[in-house]
Each structure stands twice: as C-alpha cells, then as structure tokens.
C-alpha cells in the first residue's frame, strides 16, 4: 500500500500514467528473474474521483505477484548471512533467527512503491512545467552504451555483479525552492538524502561536485550574465553547480549524480558465517540482478520528484491546482523584474 499526502485537488491522475513509470523501473539491461514475474500496477484506492484528485490522501495498492511462489515453498529460513546486505545488522538489531525477516524488507522491491508515489509527484510537477529524466553515465569502467552492456555480460559470466553512475535531471524548476536559512530544508541536502536512501547507493553529488577538486574557483562557479528578455534578465553560462545555490534552486536545471554499488548477492557467493553455528559457509544466494543502474535512474527520478513536489507545495501551497497555479504564476511574474531592479 502506498499513501501520498499533500496533493492538491483537481490534479488529473490515471493508473496508466503510474503504470508507465512502474514499467520503466522493471526494464533495463542486467535485471534478474524477478522482473519477469512481476508486472507492476498501482491500483488507486482512495483520493481520486472521476480521474481527479480530491485533496485527500491518495492510496494505491501494488500487488506482489511473487506471493504464490512463496506459498509453494520458497519461504525457507536463511541463516547464511550475506555481506553487503541488511542481513547481519537486521538480525542482530531485531533479534531475528531468520535472516529472511530483514532480507525481504530491505529488498529493492520496496522501490516499486517509491516509483508509484514519485509518479504522482511528477504529475503534479508537470502541471507547472517541471519535467524529470535520467540516464546511466557509466557501468563498471565504461561510459559507452555497447561497452556498458559488455560490462554487464562480463560480470554475469563471472558470476559477479557490477555498479554504475546515474544522473537525474529536473528541467523547468523555478528559482527559490528550498531554503538558505534552514539547514534541514536546503534543497541540495534534501535531494542528497533522498537519493542516498535508494538501496545500494553509496555516493551522491549535486552538479559536478565530484569534479571540483582539480578546478579553481573561477573555473567552477556558474557566471551570471545579462540577457534582454524582460521576463528573465539574467542567464548562466554553465550549470556546474547543478541548479542549486545556498540551498535553493537557482533556476537552472537540477542535476544530481549518484553511484550505485555492485550488488552484494553473487552467483559465486562470498565467504561468510552461519547465523546459527558461527561456522564458515558461503553466503546465501537466490535470484538476483547483475546490475541495477538502469532501474536506479527511474527510482532516482521518483525520489527527486518527491523532494521537489514537497518543496514546491511548501513554497506555493494551495488546496486545489487552480489555487496553486495562481500562487505560482504570481511569484513567477515577480521574480524576473525583482532580480533586475533590486
Ligand atoms: C533497483 C534495485 C535492484 C536491486 N536488486 C538487487 C538484487 O537483485 N540483489 C541484491 O543483492 N541486491 C539488490 N539491490 C541492492 C540491495 O537492495 C541493497 O544493496 C541492500 O538492501 C543493502 O543496502 P545497502 O547496499 O544500501 O547497504 C538492488 C537495488 C536496487 C536499487
């Protein structure tokens, strides 16, 4: 069950739109067997009437089609702890004698719920001209599409896994979302937290953050230059900061990158210990992806959309889309001239 709160009334929302994004999460070179089992669909249960949101919480149900396989015997106890997973800390923290209790909840299966919620946020943002997309920048040591696929094939053949770098971009973001006065509302910090929360993500950068160490200050800042457009009397030569300054959006596209690690469940399992006996064993293996960078991009879009939608509604408020639009348009009509004359 997915519950999304804070969406104003009169947003057109249909299940097909959400299904489109859920489908994107399931595709991608390097995904494992589970994606053949599940064709995700979010059934809207509450908060929408005749295709339009009501302003009340939106409840969506995503069935787990894998459930029948569990009834037929896959539900066995696991004690051969896998390094790189929630297995060991989860068992210790909750006093579990069966690693499966934490293994399944920590699984990226939960990201289907994030993508469904993120699709609602994306739909809201689209009403205001904000669009998100993502792409894989590199897999393993390669940044060219064919070679990336070869990296996945090589890892699969070796019974191993491979990670990658993913970029998420939001275009059409208005200037001034977030805050420079509240550390917990800084938009770059919120985006980083949201992306870091994706399973297996180990590093996040905003804009070209990872590349700045070999540059001087003059080479990194996004120089502001005048233009003659009365609605927007300034422009940027570059977008190295990735669309944020001082914890606020700067009016240029938001760009964030993240590294997703090579996943920890290996066909050739790593050495480990048994939870019951403490004896050396090979870590548990079951159905697993080889590379999850492509779906991680879709999940990254969802997470960025959720953060942006929150910041957007915090700034513009409103109980219905027309009210939010009035607030938004009023603000947009003033920011250009204000910047110019202040
Ligand atoms: C889309 C996606 C699919 C994933 N699929 C798998 C998988 O098939 N096997 C696996 O071991 N880990 C997979 N992971 C990663 C684990 O969920 C993650 O490594 C684990 O929960 C431990 O969290 P941590 O790596 O953030 O410490 C996947 C992650 C994502 C984002």
Q: Is residue 266 in contact with ligand 1, taking CB distance under 6 Å? A: no
The answer to whether the CB of 272 falls within 8 A of the CB of 70 is: no
Residue 199 in contact with ligand 1 by CB distance below 6 A: yes
The alpha carbon of 306 and the centre of ligand 1 are apart by a number of angstroms equal to: 21
Q: 184 falls in which pLDDT band (50, 70, 90)?
A: very high
pLDDT tens-place string over residues 227-256: 777 666 778 889 999 999 999 999 999 999
Cα(295) to centroid of ligand 1, in Å? 11
Q: Is the pLDDT of residue 21 over 50?
A: yes
Q: What are phi and psi of 236, to 5 degrees?
A: -110, 145
Q: For 289-303, how does the pLDDT look when each residue is reduced to its tens digit (9 = 90+)?
A: 899 999 999 999 999
40 vs 46: CA distance, rounded Å? 18
Separation of CA 81 and ligand 1 centre (Å): 15
For a pLDDT cut of 90, what percent of the chain falls above it? 78
Q: What is the arithmetic mean of pLDDT over 136-160? A: 93
Tell me: the pLDDT tens digits for 274-326? 999 999 999 998 778 899 999 999 999 999 999 999 999 999 999 999 999 99
User: Which ranges of the chain would DSSP assign to H, the alpha helix?
Assistant: 15-26, 34-37, 67-69, 87-94, 100-106, 111-126, 145-157, 187-196, 217-220, 293-316, 321-341
Instruction: Identify which of 179, 156, 161, 171 has the alpha carbon closest to the alpha carbon of residue 260.
Output: 161
Asked if residue 289 has its Cβ within 6 Å of ligand 1, the reply is: yes
Structural element, H or E, at residue 58: strand 58-62
Query: Is the pLDDT reported for residue 145 higher than 70?
Result: yes
Does the beta carbon of 292 sit less than 6 angstroms from any atom of ligand 1?
Answer: yes
Q: Which atom of ligand 1 is nearest to the CA of 106?
A: 21
pLDDT of 31 = 67
CB-side neighbour CA atoms (13 Å) of 111 = 26
Q: What is the mean pLDDT of residues 63-71?
A: 76
Q: Is the pLDDT at 34 greater than 60, yes or no?
A: no
- Closest residue to atom 26 of ligand 1, CA basis: 200
Minimum CA distance residue for ligand 1 atom 13:
263
Stretch 171-176: mean pLDDT: 95
- Confidence band, pLDDT 50/70/90 cuts, at residue 340: very low
Which atom, in ligand 1's list, is nearest to the CA of 201?
Answer: 26
Residue closest via CA to ligand 1's atom 22 equals 85
User: pLDDT tens, 121-135?
Assistant: 999 999 999 999 999
DSSP state of 148: H
Q: Is the pLDDT at 147 greater than 60, yes or no? A: yes
Alpha carbon distance 118, 18 (integer Å): 9
Average pLDDT of span 151-174: 95
Q: What pLDDT does 76 receive?
A: 84
26 in ligand 1 pocket by Cβ < 6 Å? no
Nearest-atom number in ligand 1 for the CA of 82 is: 11
Determine the pLDDT at residue 235. Answer: 83
pLDDT given for residue 341 in this prediction: 45
């Amino acid at each position: 069950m997915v519950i999304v709160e804070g969406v104003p009334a009169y947003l057109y929302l249909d299940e097909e739109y959400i299904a489109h994004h859920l489908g994107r999460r399931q595709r991608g070179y390097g995904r494992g067997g589970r994606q053949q089992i599940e064709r995700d669909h979010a059934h809207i249960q509450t908060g929408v009437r005749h295709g339009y949101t009501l302003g009340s919480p939106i409840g969506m149900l995503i069935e787990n089609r894998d459930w029948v396989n569990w009834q037929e015997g896959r539900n066995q106890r696991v004690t051969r702890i896998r390094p790189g997973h929630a297995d060991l800390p989860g068992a210790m923290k909750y006093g579990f004698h069966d690693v499966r209790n934490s293994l399944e909840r920590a699984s990226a299966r939960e990201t289907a719920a994030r993508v469904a919620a993120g699709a609602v946020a994306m739909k809201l943002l689209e009403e205001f001209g904000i669009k998100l997309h993502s792409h894989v920048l590199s897999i393993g040591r390669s940044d060219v599409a064919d070679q990336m696929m070869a990296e996945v094939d090589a890892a699969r053949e070796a019974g191993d896994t491979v990670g990658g770098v993913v970029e998420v971009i939001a275009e059409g973001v208005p200037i001034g979302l977030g805050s420079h006065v509240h550390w917990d509302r800084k938009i770059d910090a919120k985006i980083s937290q949201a992306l870091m929360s994706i399973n297996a993500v180990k590093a996040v950068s905003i804009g070209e953050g990872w590349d700045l160490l070999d540059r001087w200050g003059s080479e990194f800042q996004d120089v502001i230059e005048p233009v003659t457009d009365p609605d927007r009397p300034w422009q940027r030569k570059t977008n190295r900061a990735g669309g944020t300054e001082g914890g606020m959006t700067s009016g240029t596209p938001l760009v964030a990158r993240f590294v997703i690690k090579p996943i920890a469940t290996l066909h050739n399992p790593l050495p480990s210990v048994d939870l019951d006996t403490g004896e050396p064993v090979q870590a548990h293996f079951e159905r697993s992806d080889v590379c999850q960078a492509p779906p991680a991009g879709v999940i990254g879009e969802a997470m960025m959309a959720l953060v942006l939608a929150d910041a957007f509604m915090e700034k513009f408020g409103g109980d219905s889309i027309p009210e939010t639009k009035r607030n938004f348009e009023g603000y947009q009509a003033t920011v250009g001239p204000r910047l110019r004359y202040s």
